[in-house]
Structure 1
Amino acid sequence: MKLSARNQFTGTVIEIAPGAVNGVIKVDIGAGNIVTSSITEEAIVDLGLKVGDAVTVVVKASDVLIGK
C-alpha cells in the first residue's frame, strides 16, 4: 500500500491498552523511541493487532507543536 504521508516509521507493538471506544497502542520504533496512538477498538480488531506485531506508524498532521 502506498500513502502520501512521508512520516512513516516501522516498529513493534509493545502495549495495547483497551478502552470503551478507543484503545491506546504503544509502538517501539527503535533508539529508545516509543510512539503512542489512540485508535478505535474496531480498528484494533480489524487489523488483528497484538503485542509483538511488526507495524508501520504513519504520522499525518496539519500542525506540529513544540514546547519548551
Structure 2
Amino acid sequence: MEISARNSLKGTVKKVVHGGVNTEITLELAPGIELVSIITKSSAETLGLVEGKQAHAVIKSSDVIVAVD
C-alpha cells in the first residue's frame, strides 16, 4: 500500500459496531492504546473489517481513514 498521508498507524481491529449508516471501528495500536474511527458501513464491509484483522489508521488533517493491505 502506498499513500501520500504522512501519519499511518498499524493496529488490530478490536471492535466493530455497525449502525444503520455508519460503523464504529476500534483499533488497538499497542496494548492499552486504542483509536476509534467512524466510517461508512459500506466502507467497513468493503474493507472486510472484522475483529482480529490488521488495519491502518491513516490520519490526514482532522480525519482518520482506515486502510488495509
TM category (shorter chain) comes to: 0.7 to 0.9
Structure 2, unmatched stretches of 5+, are 63-69
Identity %: 37
Higher strand share: 2
Alignment of 1:48-59 (within 5 A): 48-59=48-59
Task: Please report the TM-score for the alignment, with normalisation by the length of structure 2.
Answer: 0.83
Task: Please report the TM-score for the alignment, with normalisation by the length of structure 1.
Answer: 0.84
Q: Distance in 1 between matches of 2:59 and 2:27?
A: 13
RMSD: 1.1
Structure 1, unmatched stretches of 5+, are 63-68
| Structure of greater Rg | 1
Does residue 35 of the first structure (1) align with residue 38 of the second (2)? no
In the TM superposition, structure 1's runs of 4+ consecutive aligned residues that sit over 4 Å from their partners are: none
